[in-house]
Each structure stands twice: as structure tokens, then as C-alpha cells.
């Protein structure tokens, strides 16, 4: 279940990372209003399941995960890894349902956003579509 916010967008642990540009004040206020809380996962927990629909998108605040597809013989094919700053679940916005699963490689903390808010984000702050 969603937890109370540990971090505000203003104090997000990702902001100091060199991969991210500085947000303008109105961008921070807008993104903070879109946030629904934070979600913690233990190592080995399934974050998203292939074939499912999720109402949320997640930004990794801490921890690592891997994305994988189940093969017909039951094995898993690892597609890539997710680390702090990565977005999880965007594919479901584009494809309708998840085409892969995501499992936590370590304890994880995710920032939660409602998927239906994505078009408003792109309309109001198109520059954030790439950040």
C-alpha cells in the first residue's frame, strides 16, 4: 500500500544526481501535486506483472530491479535493469498492458504517480517529458 511521503519533490534524493537538470519552482509544485506517495518493496518482490494493467507509474528513488519476460519453457529473459531515477511502468501507457515483469533485486523505494496524469504533465510542462 502507499505510504506517507517520506520525501517532498523539493527534497527528492534524485535531484542532486548529475543526470537530472534543475527543476523550476513551478515544475516542482506541479510534479509534487501529481505524486500519490511512495511504495516500498522487499528484495525479490514483484513490482509489475507481465500482461497486467497498472494505474500507476513509478520512479525508482532507491534500490535496483530487473525487467524480464517469461519464456515458453518457464525461464526468464532479463531485458534490462532499473536503478534510481528510472521510470517503471511507462510501457503500459503506450501498449495498454505490461509486456514484461519487474522484480526487485534489492529493497526498493518507489515514487508513485497516477498514469492518467501523464497527458496533463506533457501538456503543462512538455520539457518534463524527457526528465
The ranges assigned to domains in the chain are: 9-130
List the CATH code of the domain at 9-130. 2.60.120.10
Cell of 46: 514483484
Q: Which residue has the cell 528510472?
A: 86
Cell of 67: 525487467
Picking from 54, 60, 23, 31, the residue whose alpha carbon sits closest to that of residue 122 is 31
Q: At 53, phi and psi to the nearest 5?
A: -110, 135
The whole-model pTM stands at: 0.82
131 residues of the chain, pLDDT tens digit each: 566 667 778 888 888 888 888 888 888 888 888 888 899 999 999 998 887 777 888 999 999 999 999 999 999 999 999 999 998 987 655 555 667 899 999 999 999 988 888 888 788 877 776 65
Report d(CA 41, CA 44) in Å as an integer. Answer: 8
Amino acid at each position: 500500500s502507499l505510504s506517507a511521503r517520506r520525501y517532498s519533490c523539493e527534497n527528492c534524493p534524485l535531484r542532486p544526481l548529475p543526470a537530472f537538470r534543475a527543476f523550476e519552482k513551478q515544475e516542482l509544485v506541479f510534479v509534487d501535486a501529481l505524486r500519490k506517495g511512495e511504495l516500498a518493496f522487499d528484495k525479490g518482490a514483484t513490482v509489475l506483472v507481465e500482461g497486467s494493467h497498472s494505474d500507476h507509474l513509478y520512479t525508482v528513488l532507491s534500490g535496483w530491479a530487473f525487467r524480464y519476460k517469461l519464456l515458453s519453457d518457464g525461464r526468464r529473459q532479463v531485458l534490462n535493469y532499473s536503478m534510481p531515477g528510472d521510470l517503471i511502468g511507462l510501457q503500459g501507457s503506450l501498449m495498454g498492458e505490461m509486456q514484461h515483469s519487474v522484480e526487485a533485486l534489492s529493497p526498493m523505494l518507489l515514487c508513485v504517480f497516477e498514469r492518467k496524469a501523464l497527458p496533463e504533465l506533457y501538456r503543462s510542462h512538455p520539457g518534463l517529458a524527457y526528465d
